[in-house]
Amino acid sequence: MAKLAFLGLGVMGYPMAGHLVRAGHDVTVWNRTASKAQTWASEYAGNRADTITDAVEDADYVMMCVGNDDDVYAVAKAAIPAMKADSVLVDHTTASAKCARHCYEHAKDANIGFVDAPISGGEAGAVNGALTIMCGGDADIFASAEPVMEAYAKAVKLMGPSGAGQLTKMVNQICIAGTLQGLSEAVHFAKRAGLDVDEVVQAIGQGAAQSWQMDNRASTMGRGEFEFGFAVDWMRKDLKIAIEAAEENGANLTMVKMIDKYYADVQDMGGNRWDTSSLLKRLEP
């Protein structure tokens, strides 16, 4: 098995790194908050490093899952010069395509492979090793890294050259935003009409209206439960990336811009860390 480094032990990265250990890899982790890396090392009998350089210098593959473009730039800037030639850096952060292309070129100059590989599936997908991973980069580098990513994924697909993974993740978030707004209005309507939300879902959930969001969020929405899941702050970050990309390629994201403003309303209600299904709170504050 491979010698790996994992940089960033957030809600997603922590269990993902654990799956790599379970798959038999030799894993060293680094996290800005060192105590979290120590906790992970104790839980998974893995290794922790005090610096990015120490984590990556002997690794065949370096997996990264941090916060935003600025974080990616900073961590990649520290990691790439310390990585050995012909190793591969895989970035699971949801970031801009511009950021991915910059890191790809920087890595290529250092004779290092780079794959932008944003993930979908939320915390549950990370914990259960059932993430969907959308990748951009060179086909041979992707083929080399794919078996490593399969430790925590149910689906891994190369979408095109560098940046294509991030662009595909933007499509994913556009779809989710629209679905959740529709589901919020549907649940709101059902309750106002005196219907039982769970019974409504049982009736329509096997038909054309079915979606992952309906299967996993309609019941909690009906009960007004939002203290879990993919946070509104994170969704707004992702939608901002999509809106900025649309301004570059000319795509019309009228709906996305509207829903982004709705999420701003939820933030104003104190819902920064509520699940994205909390769009319903705007309708039923």
Taking a C-beta distance cutoff of 8 angstroms, is the pair 12, 92 a contact? yes
Write out pLDDT tens, residues 36-81.
999 999 999 999 999 999 999 999 999 999 999 999 999 999 999 9
Rg (CA), the chain: 20
111 and 132 share one domain: yes
209 and 94 share one domain: no
Q: What DSSP state is assigned to residue 82? A: G
31 and 141 share one domain: yes
- Rounded Cα–Cα distance for residues 57 and 2 (Å): 14
10 and 121 share one domain: yes
- Residue where a domain terminates, one of 144, 160, 176: 160
- CATH number of the domain within which 59 lies: 3.40.50.720
* Predicted TM-score (pTM) above 0.85: yes
- CATH number of the domain within which 277 lies: 1.10.1040.10
Tokens 């059902």 correspond to 190
143 and 191 share one domain: no
Q: Range of 230's domain? A: 167-283
134 and 23 share one domain: yes
- Residue where a domain terminates, one of 126, 145, 160: 160
> Residues 8-22, buried b or exposed e (16+ Cβ, 10 A)?
bbbebbbbbbbbbbe
Taking a C-beta distance cutoff of 8 angstroms, is the pair 272, 232 a contact? yes
Coil, helix or strand at residue 108: helix
Taking a C-beta distance cutoff of 8 angstroms, is the pair 92, 126 a contact? no
55 and 29 share one domain: yes
Which of 3, 36, 84, 169 is an active site residue? 169
Domain count, the chain: 2
Q: Of 1, 196, 13, 171, which is closest to residue 92 (Cα–Cα)?
A: 13
- Rounded Cα–Cα distance for residues 263 and 269 (Å): 10
Q: Give yes or no: 3 in active site.
A: no
Stretch 256-276: mean pLDDT, rounded?
A: 98
Stretch 153-157: mean pLDDT, rounded?
A: 98
Sequence-distant (6+) residues with CB within 8 A of 186 are 209
- Residue where a domain terminates, one of 137, 160, 183: 160
64 and 84 share one domain: yes
Write out pLDDT tens, residues 88-106.
999 999 999 999 999 999 9
Return mean pLDDT, the chain. Answer: 97
Cα–Cα–Cα angle for 247, 132, 228, rounded to 5 degrees:
85
> Is the sign of the CA dihedral 269, 275, 279, 283 positive or negative?
negative
147 and 26 share one domain: yes
84 and 215 share one domain: no
Taking a C-beta distance cutoff of 8 angstroms, is the pair 26, 1 a contact? yes
